Each structure stands twice: as structure tokens, then as C-alpha cells.
Chain A
Amino acid sequence: MTMTVSQQIIMIAVVVLGTMATRFLPFLIFPPGRPTPEYVKYLGRVLPAAAIGLLVVYSLKDVNVLAGSRGLPELVAVAAVVWLHLWKKNMFLSIAAGTVLYMILIRL
């Protein structure tokens, strides 16, 4: 290892600081006591849907559609989750069944 322990602690502190900056910044810039600008309120209304969409893509970002199983297990399992959730609307069932199906598919 090239770093000393204190250097490693500094590196970890920096990562903590950076992570916390991304989480606290909006709350520090727009404190509850002062009126939030209309533009930011608008973003607060429309951003969540886009952010969760981004999150779906983010959780599938390492799927390679050009090699290996070509993302077929992911496609089938996501489709199963969507279908089950439309049908039963039971969050836990959709997640559990989709995950078990995925674990089976990647072993075939």
C-alpha cells in the first residue's frame, strides 16, 4: 500500500465530505424559513419522476446487450415485475418474484 494510515483516513474523510455535500446542498441553499423560488418548487414537482427513471437505468447500467446473455434475463425479469405489479399491485410480491426469476434465469 502506498498510502499511510493517516492519508487513508483523509481520503475517506474526503469521500464522506463529497457525498454529504451532494445530499445537504439543496437543503442548505433552500432553507425552510425562506420562500423557495418558484423555479425550484417546479423542479421539486417534476424532478422525482425523472430521477426515479434515471435510477432504473442506473441499476441496469452494467447490462451488456452486445455480449453474453445480451441482457435477456434482465429484460424478462423486468417485464415480469411490470406485469405482476400491474396485475397484483403487491410491491413485495413483484420484487420477490422478479428477483427469484432473475436468479433462476442467469443460472440456465
Chain B
Amino acid sequence: MNETSLDARREKGEMNDHAATGAGAAFRSAFPVTVPILAGFMFLGIAYGVFMNVSGFGAGWTFLMSLLIFAGSMEFVAVGLLLGAFNPLGALLLTLMVNARHLFYGLSMLEKYKGTGWKKPYLIFGMCDESFSINYAAKIPEGIDRGWYMFFVTLLNHAYWVAGATIGGLLGSFVAFDLKGLEFVMTALFVVIFMEQWMKQKVHDSALLGIGISVLSLIVFGADKFIVPAMIAILAVLTLTRKGMERKTAAAGEGGERA
């Protein structure tokens, strides 16, 4: 179990000797996986850019905000913040609440992002819903450098979002084409990733818990406030049932799945 020294070496990037040569191959296998995001982010990005434009912010602002925040729903919320009163503390609290789900992503990716060297800060910076779910569920082909693979998934998603937002910001209200409903591409992506996980795991308690508690919380607290209560309840149930869950997953032989 002497993983620590290995991880420390990986962290320093000493195991990335072949990384540069593997970048091209990693890009070629990462790109197809991000195509649904290309469609979704172009649509949502343009919608965001247009929204910024009609709210009185030029394409420069849109470009910077999409580049630096890179959290779709929060950027829509931020437009409202910018038009309201100057209240940094309130803005901080609201941001923490809207984006609290990222904490779960981080805990889930602690192992997967290990050993990615200099790419790690960027992987964490760009860990939006889509990058997290794709990188988490990715079946990275044999021989492909996983650091570069996850890096390109994140980078491409980031580029799609910034490009879409900036295009929307430049076009403003001239955008007339009817793409209503294209945002469903995100729902479809999450459903497919949920199924991929489901088929890979023998114990479905946690997946069912995630859906069940979230739906319950949505009904009780409404669309704007349900995430934090849902997260707390999920954590509480997973913590209280830990013994049973550990026994079940060990019996199903999933313990070493991500070793």
C-alpha cells in the first residue's frame, strides 16, 4: 500500500515522460466525447451572450466572464448580481450556494485527478458539470495518457463555452434562428452518463438515493433552493448507512474498482 511516494512522484510530473508524445492521440480520443457539449454549449453560450448584450454588457465582458467563471448557471445569476446593488458578501454566499455541488465533484475526483502534474490546477478550475461527468465516466482507451485526455475534455468544453458566449455577445439581439430545445442535449448527456454508471455498478443504492433525495428536495424547496438541502440529505444518508454500504459494495466486488 505504498501509494503515497508514487503519487508524490506523479504529482511532480516525473511520470509524464511520454505525455508530450501522447497529447495528439489523447486529443483525438477526447474530441468525439465532447461533441454533444459542443452543441449544448454553443446554444447555451449564445443564449448567455445575447442575455448579457441585452442587459447592457458588451462582448468583452461576456468573454471575460465566460472565461473566468466557467459555470454556466452561475453566469446567468451573475448578470442579475451586476445589475443589482453592490453587495460582495451577498454575491459570495449566493455563489457558494449555487455552486456547492462542485464540492461533491471534488471529493469524487480526488483519486482520478491524482498524478496529472501541471494539468491538475486547470482540471480543477474547469470542473464544470459537464467536464466532471465526462471525466468521471470516461472509458479512456489503453495507451492514452489520461492526464492529457481529461485536460482536453476540460479545455474543449471551456473553449466551446467561451466561443458560444462571445458569439452571442457580438451578435446580440440579431440572433434569430430558432434552436429552442437544444439545451435538452445536457439532460440527455447526464441521463446517458447516469446509465453508464448504473450498468458498471452492481450496487445501485447511491444512484437511487441521488435521484430520490433530489426529487424530494425539489418538491419541498423548489427549483432555486433545492440543491444544498439535497446535498446535506445525501451526505447524511450515505454517512448513516456507511457500514451497510461498505459491506454491500465489498460483497459485490466493487471495492477495488478505481484502485
Contacts and interface: CB of A to CB of B under 8 A. Distances in A.
Interface string B60-76: 00001100111100100
B193 interface: yes
A7 B214 CA distance: 36
Interface string A36-68: 100110111111111111111111111000000
B171 to A, nearest CB: 21
B106 A53 contact: no
B78 interface: yes
Contacts of B105: 23, 51
Contacts of A57: 210-211, 214-215, 218, 230
Given A17-B92, A19-B102, A50-B209, A58 B64 contact: no
A77 B106 contact: no
Interface in B102-145: 102-108, 110-111, 113-115, 120, 124-125, 127, 129, 132-133, 136-137
Contacts of B191: 56, 78, 81-82, 85, 98
A42 B258 contact: no
B35 A46 contact: no
Interface in A3-51: 3, 7-8, 10-12, 14-27, 30, 32-36, 39-40, 42-51
B242 interface: yes
A72 interface: no
B27 interface: no
A53 B81 CA distance: 29
A104 to B, nearest CB: 8
B101 A54 contact: yes
B192 A85 contact: yes
Interface stretch (B13-21, B155-163, B178-186): B178-186
A107 to B, nearest CB: 8
Given A12-B78, A99-B184, A54 B231 contact: yes
B107 A56 contact: no
Contacts of A58: 101, 129, 214, 227
Contacts of A39: 239, 242
Contacts of B249: 45-46
What are the 6 A-B residue pairs with the smallest beta carbon separation, nearest first? A53-B210, A18-B95, A26-B106, A50-B210, A57-B214, A103-B181
Interface of A: 1-3, 7-8, 10-12, 14-27, 30, 32-36, 39-40, 42-62, 74, 77-78, 81-82, 85-86, 91-92, 94-96, 98-99, 102-103, 106-107
Interface of B: 4, 7-8, 11, 32-33, 35-36, 39, 56, 64-65, 68-71, 74, 78, 81-86, 88, 91-92, 94-96, 99-108, 110-111, 113-115, 120, 124-125, 127, 129, 132-133, 136-137, 179-182, 184-198, 201, 204-211, 213-215, 218, 223, 226-227, 230-231, 234-235, 238-239, 242, 245-246, 249, 254, 257-258
Given A1-B56, A15-B91, A59-B186, 5 more contacts: A22-B95, A26-B106, A45-B249, A53-B208, A98-B191
